[in-house]
């Protein structure tokens, strides 16, 4: 479109000097074709080479050289059309103005192309950076999730091994429970967010296995408002928190211990509170240390880019972990 406007304007100007339309059209058409070729060369060059601040002088020289080539093309090609001596004299006298107008047009084209490809290159760089950050985040999330199972699996297999000799039926039951749990874990590996109902169902499988290990010593209370059953949260988020609660609640006592899990929706957040008793004389209160808590906090940050979604409290021999999951 710009080329047609340029050709039409040049043809009108030449016609205004008293030349017939045929002469004006031939001159304008040839000039426009040569200018289009020069613009294509500049645009194609800048597509693959982005000059820095020190190299813009070479771009200036490149535009000047192409402008000279365009004017030279007009100077030696137009006389071949036998347009008359008067026109040839006009052509000779207009070479300088043709050079400057062509140079300005090429400089304008070079500036637009340089800005366009610089912006495009910046956009692609940002896109690659975003993709690289996403890949790194996904890899870290995957690594964090893979660290959830080995310790639990090791303990479960040890318990099964201990039960095989004197309680084979219980060992068989535990194997089936472990199989169901691991199968569910594999399915969840493909999901980033899952409904709370699904997460609690998976958590119950985990707790059933732990109850076989600890017997009557492990008691659980899980309460969930009906309104938050479909609320979404990262898959396998609760298991490490409950595993931590069991570890610090049962390992230092022979009494029965109740682990409570409560969930509700507050102000566009799914709020989950996990509590367990602990003995301050034998168990040091946790301040976000250990893989269970630090891993969950890191996952929440990677998914939601916030560090304020988990908090812990230790009061009256009760350790409380609260997580808030934004409902997008």
- Strand order from edge to edge, sheet including 318-326: 218-224, 257-266, 269-277, 318-326, 310-315
Backbone angles phi, psi at 312, to 5 degrees: -130, 150
Describe the chain by its helix, strand, coil percentages, rounded to 5.
70, 15, 15
The whole-number pLDDT of residue 309 equals 93
Q: What is the mean pLDDT of residues 191-218?
A: 86
DSSP state for residue 285 in the 8-state scheme: P
Q: Tell which wins on pLDDT, 23 or 231.
A: 231
The whole-number pLDDT of residue 287 equals 46
Residue with tokens 């093309």: 73
Q: Any idea where the domains of the chain sit in the sequence?
A: 2-141, 147-326
Q: Where are the beta strands (DSSP E) in 177-246?
A: 193-195, 218-224, 232-234
Pull the structure tokens for residue 214: 């600890």
The whole-number pLDDT of residue 175 equals 87
Torsion of CA 146, 148, 154, 159, to 10 degrees: -140
Residue with tokens 């109850």: 211
Among 11-25, 37-51, 114-128, the range with the most confident prediction by mean pLDDT is: 114-128
**147-326 fold:** Heat Shock Protein 90 (3.30.565)
Is the alpha carbon torsion for 169, 184, 248, 271 positive or negative?
negative
Q: Tell me which of 84-88, 143-147, 194-198, 291-295 is least confident.
A: 143-147
Cα separation, 281 vs 187, whole angstroms:
41
């Amino acid at each position: 479109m710009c080329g047609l406007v340029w050709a039409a304007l040049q043809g009108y100007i030449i016609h205004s000097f008293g030349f017939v339309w045929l002469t004006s059209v031939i001159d304008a058409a040839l000039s426009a074709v040569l200018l289009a070729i020069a613009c294509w060369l500049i645009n194609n060059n800048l597509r693959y080479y982005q000059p820095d601040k020190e190299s813009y002088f070479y771009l200036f020289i490149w535009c000047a050289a192409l402008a000279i080539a365009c004017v030279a093309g007009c100077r030696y090609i137009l006389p071949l059309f036998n347009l008359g001596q008067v026109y040839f004299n006009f052509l000779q006298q207009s070479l300088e103005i043709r050079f400057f107008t062509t140079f300005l047009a090429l400089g304008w084209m070079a500036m637009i192309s340089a800005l366009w490809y610089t912006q495009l290159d910046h956009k692609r760089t940002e896109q690659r950076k975003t993709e690289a950050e996403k890949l790194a985040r996904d890899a870290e999330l995957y690594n964090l999730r893979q660290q959830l199972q080995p310790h639990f699996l090791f303990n479960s297999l040890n318990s099964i091994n201990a039960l095989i000799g004197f309680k084979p039926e219980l060992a068989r039951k535990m194997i089936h429970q472990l199989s169901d749990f691991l199968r569910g874990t594999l399915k969840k590996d493909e999901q980033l967010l899952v409904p709370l109902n699904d997460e609690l169902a998976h958590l119950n499988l985990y707790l059933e296995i732990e109850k076989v290990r600890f017997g009557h010593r492990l008691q659980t209370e899980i309460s969930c408002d009906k309104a938050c059953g479909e609320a979404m949260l990262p898959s396998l988020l609760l298991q490490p928190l409950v595993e931590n609660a069991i570890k610090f609640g049962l390992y230092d006592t022979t009494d029965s211990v109740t682990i409570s899990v409560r969930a509700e929706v507050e102000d566009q957040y799914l709020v989950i509170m996990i509590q367990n008793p602990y003995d301050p004389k034998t168990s040091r209160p946790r301040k976000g240390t250990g893989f269970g808590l630090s891993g969950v906090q890191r996952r929440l940050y990677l998914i939601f880019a916030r560090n304020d979604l988990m908090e812990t409290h230790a009061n009256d021999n009760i350790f409380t972990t609260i997580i808030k999951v934004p409902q997008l």
